[in-house]
Structure 1
Amino acid sequence: MGVMRHQTVIIGTRGSPLALVQAHQVLRHLETLGVSARLHIIRTSGDRGHRGGVGVFVKELEEALLRGEVHLAVHSLKDMPTQQPPGLRVACVLERADPRDALVSRLGPLEHLPPHARVGCGSPRRIAQLRAIRPDLDYLPISGNVDTRLRKLESGQYDAVVLAMAGLARLQLEGRTTQVFSLAQVLPAPGQGAIALEVREGDARALRLAQDLNHWPTWWSVLAERAFLRALGGGCRVPIASYAQVQGNRLTLDGLVITPDGQTALRGQVEGRPEEAEALGTAIAQRLLAQGAGHLLGARV
């Protein structure tokens, strides 16, 4: 089912507060183009508590796209697998928000936390990099949306939690941050801070509308990051990190593979033209694999 010329565009989104903020951002962008649009909320397996596997926050949105129930699906790009199902494509990314990770703490910044302080963190990538800085802390699993995690912190279940700065900013919770980690301390997940729009192949109007919203510096950056992740065979549940940025006609990509205990890491950087984004991501992955990254990815705590 393609989008007819004057048909209202139906935007598929999860129902979490952060997902709705992101979907409303897309809605406002479309309205500035004179396009009528509305949101359609879809509950994913990740929302129902099934956190294992890849794409748990994406699958049901993609199924709705393929059935023609929605014309666009809004995703946090870092939640998306590096390969889309047949018949679907990532059509655009919006301008990226702050890609860094942040600490929200009851006991001060990371360096001031007492030994064995309980740090809530659901990401192996974050935990591994934080262990490299503070191996004496207790890193505990945490689940739920941003508000839920902050309530768990306030209730005393944790002494600190680690969250994406982009999510805090979109929810206007920047004031809650105790510390924002530098990119040298904690390199982000591929695609972190970027909102992606996914469409059906062949839906010409949906594709055109999405591409009208594309932010090209962010597009080239996340293309390189996701190519790095794909070449390493990883997903969002393994300790792989990357961050690219475009300045003028140059793209710089940093990539990191680290053991879960944070004790051994391989990090590299590559630079080239933005149009070479995917080749650059693949090249740095191959370089790290030649240095033993595959062995690091198989390591356990």
Structure 2
Amino acid sequence: MPTLPTHLRIATRESRLALAQTHLVAETLRSRNPGLKVEIVGMTTRGDTVLDRPLSQVGGKGLFIKELEVALVEERAEIAVHSMKDVPMEIDAAFALTTFGTREDPRDAFVSAHFESLDALPAGSVVGTSSLRRECQLRSAFPKLQFKPLRGNVNTRLAKLDAGDYDAIILAAAGLRRLGFEARIRTYLPPALAIPAIGQGILAIEHLAGRDDIAALLRPFRDPATKHAARAERAFGLVAEGSCEVPVGALAHVAAGQLSLEAFIGLPDGTRVVRDAVRGDVAQDEALGRTLGEKLLAMGGREILAALQRANA
């Protein structure tokens, strides 16, 4: 077994949520490794500074991790902490990616100052969301509502809601819970209504490939069910071209050695959605993800992707 490091620098975004997640990782590592010195290296990514346009228009998920990866390459940090849903489906071979801890609640959350649920919103109500995935599924179910872009960190989005800019907003439940805002959640959106983003609620740790000492340090914190869920969902995303530009979602459940995976591909306006599920042995996590991806493409997903390519050309 390689000698474990005694000093660890963690690269992170400087949003309150990113810092909260990073401190959680740091404290967990310290608790299991007495004497380990942990230093947090905060930085701003392009995804944090470009707030006037949807992510789908400015480069997608990679905007939140590029600067952190540069810090790893330049040896200014040994690991970087990400929300798994912000990590592109493919990462450079120079890096290794692992899950950390048990998955937080993966569902989306409905937040509003005056209404209890999406069903309670009057026609024409304005709902804020930063996600084509959410917009696609919710437009399909609630065609009489207006969906408008919502960018910024969690605190900024809540402030915009409280200022009356929106009648309701949709956020990841995991972020609200990790920041202590669980009381703001009026209701959780069931996967039957809104399948979450790939990897939503999962913390991901990235480090340079070949760092066996870092891999050994992190290995005890890898929850098996979370690991298998992430592998299945991301394998689906690779086949389905999952990104901020394509409305897709996937959610895996692991129990009694079995993995069930449900997913969808759709158009942003919700006029066309294909959705299905698979189930199998947990050891076949990535194979199940690829199988479901190919299944949805054959059900009409290829035509949806082609339509999106034409629209974005």
Q: In the TM superposition, what are the counterparts of 1:14-93 in structure 2 within 5 Å?
A: 14-34=13-33, 35-49=36-50, 51=55, 52-54=58-60, 55-93=62-100
Compute the displacement of 1:231 (Å).
Answer: 0.6
More helix by share: 2
TM-score, normalization by structure 1:
0.95
Q: In the TM superposition, what are the counterparts of 1:201-240 in structure 2 within 5 Å?
A: 201-240=209-248
Compute the displacement of 1:236 (Å).
Answer: 3.1
In 1, Cα distance between equivalents of 2:45 and 2:153: 13
The question of whether the paired residues in 2 share the 8 Å contact of 1:251 and 1:277 is answered with: yes
The question of whether the paired residues in 1 share the 8 Å contact of 2:5 and 2:214 is answered with: no
The question of whether the paired residues in 2 share the 8 Å contact of 1:252 and 1:271 is answered with: yes
Unpaired runs of 5+ residues, structure 1, are none
Task: Classify the secondary structure of the residue corresponding to 2:251.
Answer: strand
TM-score, normalization by structure 2:
0.92
The question of whether the paired residues in 1 share the 8 Å contact of 2:101 and 2:226 is answered with: yes
Q: In the TM superposition, what are the counterparts of 1:130-279 in structure 2 within 5 Å?
A: 130-279=138-287
Deviations 1:217-245 (A, max 9, x none): 00100110011011112213321010001
Compute the displacement of 1:212 (Å).
Answer: 2.0
Unpaired runs of 5+ residues, structure 2, are none
Compute the displacement of 1:150 (Å).
Answer: 0.4
CA RMSD of aligned residues (A): 1.6
The question of whether the paired residues in 2 share the 8 Å contact of 1:91 and 1:198 is answered with: yes
Residue identity in the other structure for 1:53: G
Tell me the matched-pair count.
299
| Percentage of pairs with the same residue | 38
Deviations 1:144-179 (A, max 9, x none): 000000000111111111100000000110111122
The question of whether the paired residues in 2 share the 8 Å contact of 1:101 and 1:162 is answered with: yes
Segment of structure 1 superposing worse, 61-70 or 103-112: 103-112
Residue 102 of structure 2 is matched in structure 1 by: 95
Task: Classify the secondary structure of the residue corresponding to 2:155.
Answer: helix
In 1, Cα distance between equivalents of 2:192 and 2:146: 22
Compute the displacement of 1:70 (Å).
Answer: 0.5
In 1, Cα distance between equivalents of 2:50 and 2:220: 35
Report the CA distance shift for 1:173/1:84 in structure 2 as closer, same or farther (over 3 A). Answer: same
Residue identity in the other structure for 1:166: A
In 1, Cα distance between equivalents of 2:22 and 2:291: 34
Compute the displacement of 1:132 (Å).
Answer: 1.5
Residue identity in the other structure for 2:182: E
The question of whether the paired residues in 2 share the 8 Å contact of 1:31 and 1:37 is answered with: yes
In 2, Cα distance between equivalents of 1:6 and 1:230: 33
Task: Classify the secondary structure of the residue corresponding to 2:283.
Answer: helix
Q: Once superposed, which parts of structure 1, at least 4 consecutive aligned residues long, lie more than 4 Å away?
A: 3-6
Deviations 1:45-72 (A, max 9, x none): 1111264213111110011111111111
In 2, Cα distance between equivalents of 1:293 and 1:233: 10
Residue identity in the other structure for 2:59: G
Task: Classify the secondary structure of the residue corresponding to 1:188.
Answer: coil
